């Protein structure tokens, strides 16, 4: 891992940003070298310039056209991997948002998941561009690395116990407190969390972290399904293969919590993670079972694979009891969200239009794309079954992400502002700054929006 900037006073080589077709004036030998490499400034092209003794004297990086850049994010991250060892600084025109994205992309490219085999980090280092807040970006990169590590770790090594240990480590490092509810207290206080986790020998629990003593209350709830087999409604193997990432909501809220605490935001933070394994055994909840819930609503389990909304509902009900100023839910909740928007864009739901606009704008500003979806009230009937208050899995599967969101909203009645993010948490193919594997989504957008939304 190499996710820090080089010291501001280090000697460094120029990395010259070249828009397509706009080559800078160079000495004749350098110009011949660049021409021979066929460097034209196409997006992502890199040309290292030889100095008098043969050592690099700098490099050119192709910025392409505005249209090409719009087809991705963090383009400069490619340079972090490709450049030779050394310290580099940027030369060229970037507005403050572009400079910040370039610098963050570089740090994000320094992430490695090295738990099971060594993975050398890039050896080129960047000096943080002037006007960019280096400490803030390093904190963001550290939070994102935590999210990625938690998601990437296979379920064998990341069960409810290990997720609890990771949350305890974070709490200890940041001076936060952690309380854990398990066993009989879980069964009485959080019956749906207990029911979803009942089939696994790895005991279900509710993890509750608190930090900060003054300021507005922000509560983050993250889905912590450490592995989702589907339960008795077993997933086919093609769908089960990636389900170590079903604690991606928990991983993402913990990464965000790390950013918030590390930056010392003036607020009272609470993080709730229902940590369970959705397994198969004689103790498993059954299709057709009706579960009681913390809120008092009864829920008919029409599909044991719609487990995320069950565990989240009990956690949201607890969160709602103290009516936090802002209540955020993050979950790898539905396959339907992916069908609708793909892996890159995160659908989110809120009734608060001002909040939605702040989040969307913040997402654009920090290259963390979000898209508002509707809490479409006419679909409420789809989640109302015959013999209980709610149905966890309407038949037909129409509007699957919306009906899941509507289900969650039933458990939030007192918090003045609620937003739910149906994240994917996974980068299916490597992209600049994002290797294939676990990835944080919507955390940076939230961090950016919080000061305005909570008037910090
Ligand atoms: N964890 C899955 C959703 C998921 C699947 C997220 C693939 C990302 C990628 C969730 O628990 C689930 O299985 N949802 C079902 C709900 C259905 C049974 C109503 C789904 O989306 O198919
Ligand atoms: Mg499921
Ligand atoms: Zn799930």
Which atom belonging to ligand 1 lies closest to the Cα atom of 336? 21
pLDDT more than 70, % of the chain: 100
Instruction: Assess whether 332 and 231 both reside in one domain.
Output: yes
Instruction: Assess whether 71 and 168 both reside in one domain.
Output: no
Q: Look at the block and give the residue holding tokens 């309380």.
A: 179
Given a contact cutoff of 8 angstroms between Cβ atoms, the answer to whether 233 and 285 are in contact is no
Catalytic annotation on 73?
no
Catalytic residue among 309, 409, 410, 444: 309
Instruction: Assess whether 256 and 388 both reside in one domain.
Output: yes
In a domain, 84, yes or no: yes
Give the Cα separation of 327 and 43 in Å (integer): 40
Give the Cα separation of 140 and 373 in Å (integer): 26
Catalytic annotation on 309?
yes
Q: Measured in angstroms, how far is the CA atom of residue 293 from the centroid of ligand 1?
A: 21
List Cβ neighbours of 176 (8 Å cut-off, separation of 6 or more): 170, 209, 210, 211, 257, 261, 269
**Residue 43's pLDDT is what?**
98
In a domain, 317, yes or no: yes
Instruction: Assess whether 393 and 307 both reside in one domain.
Output: yes
Q: Measured in angstroms, how far is the CA atom of residue 353 from the centroid of ligand 3?
A: 28
Q: Ligand 1 pocket check: which of 306, 390, 420 to mutate, most ligand atoms within 8 Å of Cβ?
A: 306
Confidence class of residue 54 from pLDDT cuts 50, 70 and 90? confident
In a domain, 335, yes or no: yes
Confidence class of residue 258 from pLDDT cuts 50, 70 and 90? very high
In a domain, 7, yes or no: no
Confidence class of residue 1 from pLDDT cuts 50, 70 and 90? confident
Give the rounded distance of the alpha carbon of 44 from its chain centre. 25
- Owning domain of residue 331: 138-454
CA quadruple 388, 289, 274, 437: dihedral, nearest 10: -110
Domain end (from 132, 154, 175): 132
List Cβ neighbours of 47 (8 Å cut-off, separation of 6 or more): 33, 34, 37, 39, 59, 60
Q: Report whether residue 277 contacts ligand 1, using a CB cutoff of 6 Å.
A: no
Residue 428 is part of a domain; what is its CATH number? 3.40.630.10
Instruction: Assess whether 109 and 172 both reside in one domain.
Output: no
Q: Measured in angstroms, how far is the CA atom of residue 277 from the centroid of ligand 3?
A: 9
Mean of per-residue pLDDT scores for the chain: 97
Domain end (from 98, 132, 166): 132
Domain end (from 115, 132, 149): 132
**How does pLDDT run across 219-249, given as a tens digit for each residue?**
999 999 999 999 999 999 999 999 999 999 9
Q: Report whether residue 306 contacts ligand 1, using a CB cutoff of 6 Å.
A: yes
Q: Which tokens belong to 193?
A: 């969390």
**Residue 29's pLDDT is what?**
85
Q: Measured in angstroms, how far is the CA atom of residue 164 from the centroid of ligand 1?
A: 23
What phi, psi does 81 have (nearest 5°)?
Answer: -80, -35
Q: In what order do the strands lie in the sheet with 299-300?
A: 290-291, 299-300, 390-391
Instruction: Assess whether 126 and 154 both reside in one domain.
Output: no
Does the global pTM surpass 0.85? yes
Instruction: Assess whether 268 and 402 both reside in one domain.
Output: yes
Please identify every residue whose CB atom is under 5 Å from ligand 2, which is an ion. Answer: 228, 305, 307
Please give the span between the terminal C-alpha atoms of the chain, in angstroms, as a whole number. 32
Catalytic residue among 69, 235, 268, 417: 235
Domain count, the chain: 2
Q: Which helix (H) or strand (E) holds 313?
A: helix 308-321
| DSSP of 39-100 | ----TT-EEEEE-TTSSEEEEEEEEE-HHHHTT-S-TTHHHHHHSPSEEEEEES---HHHHH
Instruction: Assess whether 238 and 367 both reside in one domain.
Output: yes
Does the pLDDT value for residue 386 go beyond 90? no
Confidence class of residue 52 from pLDDT cuts 50, 70 and 90? confident
**Residue 293's pLDDT is what?**
98
| DSSP of 230-245 | -TTSPPPHHHHTTGGG
**Residue 397's pLDDT is what?**
87
Residue 73 is part of a domain; what is its CATH number? 3.40.220.10
Instruction: Assess whether 167 and 315 both reside in one domain.
Output: yes
Q: Report whether residue 343 contacts ligand 1, using a CB cutoff of 6 Å.
A: no
């Amino acid at each position: 891992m190499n996710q820090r900037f080089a010291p501001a006073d280090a000697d460094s080589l120029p990395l010259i940003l070249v828009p397509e077709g706009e080559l800078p004036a160079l000495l004749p030998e350098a110009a011949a070298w660049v021409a021979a490499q066929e460097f034209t400034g196409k997006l992502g092209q890199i040309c290292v310039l030889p100095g008098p003794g043969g050592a690099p004297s700098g490099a050119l990086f192709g910025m392409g056209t505005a249209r090409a850049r719009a087809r991705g994010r963090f383009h400069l991250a490619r340079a972090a991997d490709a450049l030779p060892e050394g310290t580099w600084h940027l030369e060229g025109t970037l507005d403050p948002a572009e400079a910040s994205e370039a610098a963050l992309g570089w740090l994000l490219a320094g992430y490695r998941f090295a738990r099971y085999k060594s993975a050398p980090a890039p050896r080129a280092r960047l000096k943080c561009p002037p006007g960019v807040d280096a400490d803030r970006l390093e904190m963001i990169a550290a939070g994102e690395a935590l999210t990625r590590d938690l998601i990437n770790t296979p379920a064998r090594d990341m069960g409810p116990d290990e997720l609890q240990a990771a949350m305890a480590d974070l709490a200890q490092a940041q001076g936060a407190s952690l309380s854990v509810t398990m066993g009989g207290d879980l069964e009485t206080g959080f019956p749906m969390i207990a029911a979803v986790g009942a089939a696994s020998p790895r005991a279900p629990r509710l993890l509750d972290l608190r930090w900060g003593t003054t300021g507005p209350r922000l509560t983050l709830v993250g889905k912590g399904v450490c592995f989702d087999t589907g339960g008795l409604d077993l997933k086919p193997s093609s769908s089960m293969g990636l389900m170590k990432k079903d604690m991606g909501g928990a991983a993402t809220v913990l990464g965000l919590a790390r950013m918030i605490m590390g930056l010392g935001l003036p607020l009272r933070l609470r993080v709730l993670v229902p940590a369970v394994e959705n397994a198969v055994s004689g103790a498993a909840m059954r299709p057709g079972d009706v579960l009681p819930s913390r809120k008092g609503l009864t829920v008919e389990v029409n599909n044991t694979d719609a487990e995320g909304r069950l565990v989240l509902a009990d956690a949201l009900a607890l969160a709602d009891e103290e009516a936090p100023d802002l209540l955020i839910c993050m979950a790898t909740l539905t396959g339907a969200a992916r069908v609708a928007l793909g892996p890159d864009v995160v659908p989110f739901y809120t009734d608060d239009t001002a909040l939605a606009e702040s989040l969307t704008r913040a997402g654009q500003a920090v290259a963390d794309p979000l898209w508002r979806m509707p809490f479409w009230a006419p679909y409420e009937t789809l989640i109302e079954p015959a013999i209980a208050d709610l149905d966890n899995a309407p038949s037909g599967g129409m509007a699957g992400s919306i009906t899941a969101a509507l289900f969650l909203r039933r458990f939030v009645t007192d918090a003045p502002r609620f937003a739910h993010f149906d994240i994917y948490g996974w980068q299916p193919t490597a992209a600049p700054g994002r290797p294939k594997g676990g990835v944080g989504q919507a955390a940076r957008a939230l961090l950016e929006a919080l000061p305005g939304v909570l008037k910090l």
